[in-house]
Structure 1
Amino acid sequence: MSPQRPTQTLDWLIISRPIGVSAILGVGTFILREEPSKVIPLALLVFITYILSLVYWFALRKRLPFRPFVWAQLATDVVLATAIVGFSGGAESQFSLLYFVPVICGALFLVGRGSFTMALLSSISYLLLLASEYRNYFQWLQPGLDVEYVRDYIFLRGYMHVLFFFGVAAMGTYLAERLRKGVQELEDVKLTTDDILENMGAGVITVDAAGRIIYFNWAAGAILDCESGGAGGRMLEEIMPKGAQGLTQLILEGLKASRNEYRREIDIHLGGGRIKPVGVSGKVMENKIGQRRGYLVLFSDLTDVRETQERLKRSERMAAIGQLSADMAHEIRNPLASIRGSVEMLASETDYGGDRKRLMHLVIKETDRLDTIIEHFLRFARSKDPSFRKVSLNRVIEEVLDLVKAHPDFRETIELRTVLSDADATVSADPEQVKQVFLNLCLNSLSAMNDGGQLTIEVLQTDGAFGVAVTDTGIGIKKSAISRIFQPFYSTRKKGIGLGLSIAHKIVEKHEGWIDVESNPGKGSKFTVWLRKSDSSKEGE
């Protein structure tokens, strides 16, 4: 055992000492009940043992140094064993076996030569006791011997005890060392296994054949939004939240089903209406003869995976639509220009009045508006690759604010608030393109605050990226619409073209960044653009 042990390791030794002495000397005093000269000292020794145990108990709570504390206890035990042997018959006492207790405890609690030291101390004490009897030094303590001991007999008693003391010390040290190594190896394996399971990103649940939880790691509690501590030993249904009934049912069915393994995806319904997709793998745990012992389930949160898949699908869909639509838009512009030119010629050469003149101007106006839409779309579909260079986000945001204040949609009822970065918020980006992104987001926020509100632009920072959060207190976006807001021509506004967010999203993707969207209908929206920190390898491309 380690020389530094917690308080609990010595508790059993302190508690077992008075119990063992009471049991052993209780029998001794009963046998010697007709000899008060022996009973009274033995009873006194029992009382002393209780007092010492009480002292040891309180001393242990004082966090005394481990080794000196154990040495003191075991040395005192040798003295007590000597006294018990002396008062219970000396050389004839059967209680000489008590010497083996500190020898064995020395092997268990004291690393190295502890057991041999206790064997030496016990040998010296026992030999001195035999010598004192032989020479009648303590006649008042041991009045006369029942048998006339000869020198050879005393020598044999001492020799055999010393031999056994050191034999037990050698055997105890060997076995204690083996035990110590075995316990250490087991603790190392357990520590390694527990560390692996507790630090896994996936949830791990194991149950026995009755559905009682054997293991429930931290990640399982985090994914299921429940407490993992104290789950061991409880029934599965007691721990699993109501929204995870699908997972609970899978585990219970797995205990009974003929299939040994399965994989599938399910949804976990959490508080607040949240739905978390989870990938589940289950496997039956069997012993060597094929009997089912329980069930092992691994599951992981697929939210990020689903979002990534959705981004990829959206990017592929938008790329295909964009290319096709760009070709069509380019073809539309030619006849559109002809229509506008023809109407202008008719309006200038013919003296129309009233409704006819108004209708001609309307055709020209709507033709211009359609041409603007096509121009925006072509800019979206055929956006050029960014020219990377070092860009200060603080400076770009200041320029964007000037453009926002000069825009027709900006009103005095809208309060502008900025939180710039104290650090050097520098990213690798195309300055004009990122300016377009932030401007589009700000204009989108302005259009969401018809009755006024607050527009906040804040610079954020993580380990590898800077973020620019554009937050408004406008009408917000419905949850069902968030997945579509980056699609071209999708707009929640009657006058919106539906390309501002699409253009912003495409530019950010070309910068290898991403946009996070948070929105609460009736309270506002928050768009956060994340861009990688300045990378000299991309600059100048």
Structure 2
Amino acid sequence: MCSGYPRLFARIVEKYGLGSKRRSIFGGTMWIIKSSEFIVRGNRLLRMYSYYSLFLALLMMIVDGLDKKDVILGQQAPYLFLVLASIYIFAASIFAAIASRNPDPQAATSYVFLEVAILAGMMYASGGLDTGFSSLLLVPLIISNLLAPGVLGYGVAAWASIAVFYSQHIWPNNFAPQEVVNTGLFGALCFALAWLTQALSKRLQSALSLASDHAKHIRRLQRFSQRALMNMPGGIIACDPSGRILFHNPQATAWFGIVDNILLPSYLIDIKDSKRVEMNGEQLLVTRVDIPESQQDYLLFIEDSARIEAEAQQIKLASLGRLTASIAHEIRNPLSALRQASQLLAETPYLESEEQRLTHIIEQHCMRINRTIEDILQLSRGHQACIEVLRLKPWLVHFHNQFEHLEPAQDYSLTIECSDDILVPFDADHLQQILHNLAANGLRYARKANHGDAQLQLRVTTNQTRVFLDVLDNGFGVAESIRKNLFEPFNTGEHNGTGLGLYLCRELCQANQSRIEYIQQSQGACFRITMRKA
């Protein structure tokens, strides 16, 4: 009676390629039939509808079985009601089985039209429109218009109207005016309900599509944010007001050894603004940032102080270099003229010995000023590090050979204490300048303290993340009066020193994310360079 049309429709769709299969926003399969705009939006709604139909069919069969006198259902045609209820259970069972696996448009369209026809027949068997049975016809009508917006949805409304008219008037040959009017009103209600359902369905679909687009965009941003947080050079920790860790990136784990859902270490909980923390020989700057409108949650940003200082140092040196270069050039030009005049004067044959001594003093001070200018110009050229991985022991042996070539080992010894497998990231030229400056200074003071027995040592030790290169001598050590400002420019303990050597060493170390410090010894001096491990 009712299944021929939907099957024919489905065959036409399949034969002429009017349909396509896509993924739905509900995570199931979505069928789109272009000619009728039939849409099954995923398994969820269709599966719930199939379970409802099966439950309704079973309930009708149970009620009819308990109602021996047929006063509730099937009053007008009990046998017809029983046959239709049996067909209803059989069809609903098959449809529920199909919907639970993989719904397709043929099963969906066929079942909707079949169910409308069955319910229309059961309504006739139970007494017609006046019994209120017609309200059960509205459920498949609403579901079909949710699943099939467009022409097919109105087709279901027309099919329901025709089925009711046929079962109420043509089949029993009853054309009473009042009943015909009621049937017409029911048909109008079907079309009105179809229009309203489709309008709401389109709005719902638009909202769901917009929500899906927003969800995709949010997931995309989350992936970007997650990747950025995981690969950022600094550490980050997200905490709740009690200090419990909600999130952290790998760098924070490497520095503090933390995991999710534990309390922060005590030295991190009391941070109000920023704090410097030392972990495994590394100076870390921890900054707290409160998150507004988040129940007092906050973030801790952890940065390597050495890297920050190196960046600040590059900015400082860029501006300082321009100033010092211009000043040094302005001094060098008249200084060259002064030195040349002094040399010409010293070559005059009629100068007395006292006058020769004065020209010698002029020459010495000109050379001292020139050395200061050379050091200043070297600072002004900047120290942009070209960092490479150095195997430290072979490099120190090479430095030892170069240093002995410049300072022949007649009255001193230079020893190296270093493991073979130590690697450090450092600019080789910068390390050469630093060690030459420290070794030359140490040798000069060691010779003064130990005539003929000056000793220098390059000693390397390590911990988990850092390498410590110590330059030791057996000289007098550094006077306590100048230790505080030892690495400041123009701070010197010698009459003819420029006070720029150790300052230059500090700047070069900072450019390589390292630091230099003076370690007090019982005898002699020790300058320690703290470097990163490669």
Pick the TM interval, shorter chain: 0.3 to 0.5
TM-score by length of 2: 0.40
